[in-house]
Structures are given as structure tokens and as C-alpha cells.
Structure 1
């Protein structure tokens, strides 16, 4: 059997810790002691032991007197997410950030998509699910129009954005982004070639003119000598 180490809770990683710990408890067949909250003694003891392995000693001292894994889990959650009012305030701040965020010129599709996914994950941990159609719409509306207007218009025409997955949209935009970069690089190469050719032609022209003046000068000299 593969050995899996418990994730350790810190002051800043609660959201990721809770996601990992939920999977960890499911692997050990004891998640039901927390959700919905069964009271089988053997499973309860295993769940508590796993939770204690994944939290700092100072926190163990604070929750150690609680009787069930569900109570311990909820206590940890409350300490890190705050009471209901604090939780609601955090959610409002998070959703405001979600509405305001725009893709920067320096961002890649992957970078910006990751930022939106992170905000959606944090919102889910606070009890607010951002539905995939809303995520897709936000993603497309936040792209720089000057750079992506053509692909956005095409996607809106050929796809039903209400049923198209977020990852599907990301994949299509990444392919378009790579094409743009290829064309920009190709255009830069062509521009450099044209510049070099232009310089060569100018240099050849100047050489030709100089050479012609020299010939005329030499001819005049010969004529004078004949006189």
C-alpha cells in the first residue's frame, strides 16, 4: 500500500489543507465521521488520530477536548475562516476582486486562468460556488479586446458558452495565443530580412554611383592629356 503523509496545517494554507485532508480521510475510509458525522468508535479514533497528525501542537491543545472528528473539523474551520460575519465579509471582498480582475498585457492565458481558478476555489471554500458558465463568461470578458477580439467573436458564434467547459475554453485560447506568438516571431524575422535587404540594395546603389563618377573622372583625364 502506498504511504501518504498527512498535509500539515499552517496559518496561511487552510483552503488547500482542507482539500487535501478530505481526500486523505476518504482514502482511510473515515470521512463519513465528519460528513455527515457518524459515530462508529473505531473510525472516530482513526479520524481524530489523522487530524491530530495534520495540525500544530498548539492547535491540538485547543481542540483536544472535543469528542468527535466532526467537532474538531468544524472548530479548525471556524478558527481559519472566522465566524459567519467574518466569513461573509471575506466572501464579499473575494467576489469584488473576481468582478474587477482583468488580464494584464504581460499575462499569459495560463497565468490569468490560474488566477480565476484560484479565486473560484477560495470562494467555494467560503460556501460560494462560481458556476462554470459564469467563470467562462468572466474569462472571455476579461481578455484584452485588441488582442483576442477575433477569437472571442468566433467562439461566441460556434459554441454554446453556457455548456462549454472552462478547461475547453482555456485550451482553445492557448492554441490561439501560440499562433499569435508564432506570427509575431515570423513577422519580426521577415522585418529583419527586409531591413537587411534594403541596406544591401542601398549600399550597392551607392557603390555603383561612386564607381560611375570615378570612371567619368578618369575619362576626362585621358581626354585632357590628348589635348
Structure 2
């Protein structure tokens, strides 16, 4: 089956590195990239050539014009005016690269910063393995856009060495079953994700078990009061509430178990037993002692 890749977007002066990568693959798909890299003319025709050799020479000569046409058609009119004077696709490509790609010094600084970001990446305890992998790939893709080679194996090593302790058992299992130097990034992420899901399911089941146990305890506790009379339940509840409640220290006895107006030692209250002020009969110390019968 014939394959005709879609052309890259029109370059209008922004995101040059992305456009250049797409344009390069497009030219490679049409067997025109070597013409852009090497600004050479095919050798002149010799005598006594076969029809196939003449046809090949004609195709090699036409490649230069085809590559030039591809470049001119994938830039805006404003950008086209900057390469219209170029005689070869290599000159046009180099012209665009010189004008729109970052200066080498700036590019190198960007690469240094991105590599530093990559080295400092660590998985957070609150992150999932998918979220961490997305953060790593975002940094790596920016590095690759600047033209720096970055192998998938280096990414795998980064993931393995920066995972939290909870993933150690899975890493050890993978080391026992296969060579981690040959494992693919997607395979590693999927294996870790599967373990993450199993752990989440176990935690959910444990939480449900704890909830059900507490529900049973609550049900058992409430059933113990079913045989009691309503007034008794209310009285017991009132005692519990009173025992828990605290008041300001009483001005008369300094205790915090009652309000001041209910204190047994108020100065305006009269004892029924000794008829003295300052206490009630219940706490009276002057009560006549009961006589012992002989």
C-alpha cells in the first residue's frame, strides 16, 4: 500500500523546533532529506548510459526542486520572503534554522536547566505513578525538542531510582523475573500502576470492614437500652450529661459541678436542722446524733 503522510503545519515564525522535527520526518518519508543535508548536484551524464540510469539521474536532479517546493509550501508568505533568494533546499533550511532556532548559547542554557530539572525529579507521596510518569515525560520531551538525544532506558532508570519505599517490593519482583535494563518504560509504568490499584483496593476493603465493625458495635450498644423504660433512659442520660458538663467555680464552695444559685453553702440559706444560715440540712454538721437504744 502506498503511504502519503500529511504535510506539517504552515510555519509562521512560532514553535520552530516542533515544526522542524515534523518537516524533517515529512521530507524523510518522501526520500528528500538527504538533498536538504547535502547540497550537491548529481554527477553529469556520461555516454552510453542505459535508460534506467538516465531515468535515475533525472529523478536525482528533480529531488532538489521537490525538496525546495516542500519547504516553500510549508511556510507563511512572510517567512517565504526570507528564503525566496535561496538557491537550494539546504540554504533555505539553514536560513530558517539560523533565524528561528535559539542561539547556541541560549539553547545550551535551556538544556542545562532542563537536565537539572530532570535530575531533581522525585515522586511525591501524594502522586500516582501515572502522574509522576507524565511529569517526567514533559521534561524529557522539552529536552528532545532542543535536539538532545535522550534514551528510554535512562528514563526507566530514573523512575526506578526515585520511587517511594512502597514500590520496593514490586521493583524487587521485577528484578527477579527479568532484566530491568531491557524493560520498556510503558511496561514498567503499567506494572507499577497495577500494584498501585491492588493496594488501593485493599485499603478500600479494609475501610469498609472497619466501618461495618463500628456499625455493629453501635447497633449492639443501642440494643442494650431497649429493655429499659423511657424515664429511666432519660434519667441516665441526664446524669451522664451532668457529669460531663462543667461550670465556673462557685463563689461559695469553689466547686465546678453546679451553678452558684444552687450551692448548698449559700450565705442566705437557712438550715432546717440547726436554724443557722450558710448551709442546708443535708450538709449540716450540727445535726443531733441519733441516740443509741439499750
Q: What TM-score does the superposition give when structure 1 sets the normalisation length? A: 0.75
Q: Which has the larger radius of gyration?
A: 2
Structure 1 spans left out of the alignment, 5+ residues: 215-227
> Secondary structure in 2 aligned to 1:207?
coil
Matches within 5 A, 1:7-156: 7-9=9-11, 13-36=15-38, 39=41, 40-145=60-165, 147-156=166-175
Deviation, structure 1 residue 55: 2.8
- In the alignment of these two chains, the number of paired residues is 212
RMSD between superposed Cα atoms in Å: 3.0
Describe the shift of the 1:115–1:59 C-alpha distance in structure 2 as closer, same or farther (beyond 3 A): farther
Q: Which structure is richer in relative contact order (CA contacts within 8 A, separation 6 or more)?
A: 1
Q: What TM-score does the superposition give when structure 2 sets the normalisation length? A: 0.60
> Secondary structure in 1 aligned to 2:192?
helix
Structure 2 spans left out of the alignment, 5+ residues: 42-59, 234-294
Deviation, structure 1 residue 10: 5.8
Deviation, structure 1 residue 84: 2.1
> Secondary structure in 1 aligned to 2:215?
helix
Deviation, structure 1 residue 209: 5.2
**Cα distance between partner residues in 2 of 1:11 and 1:103:** 37
Instruction: Tell me if the contact between 1:91 and 1:126 (Cα under 8 Å) persists in the aligned partners.
Output: yes
More helix by share: 1
Describe the shift of the 1:35–1:195 C-alpha distance in structure 2 as closer, same or farther (beyond 3 A): farther
**Cα distance between partner residues in 2 of 1:201 and 1:88:** 71
Q: Can you list the C-alpha shifts for 1:118-162, whole angstroms capped at 9, x where unaligned?
A: 3333323434322333211111222233x3232233334443222
Bigger shift: residues 119-128 or 173-182: 119-128
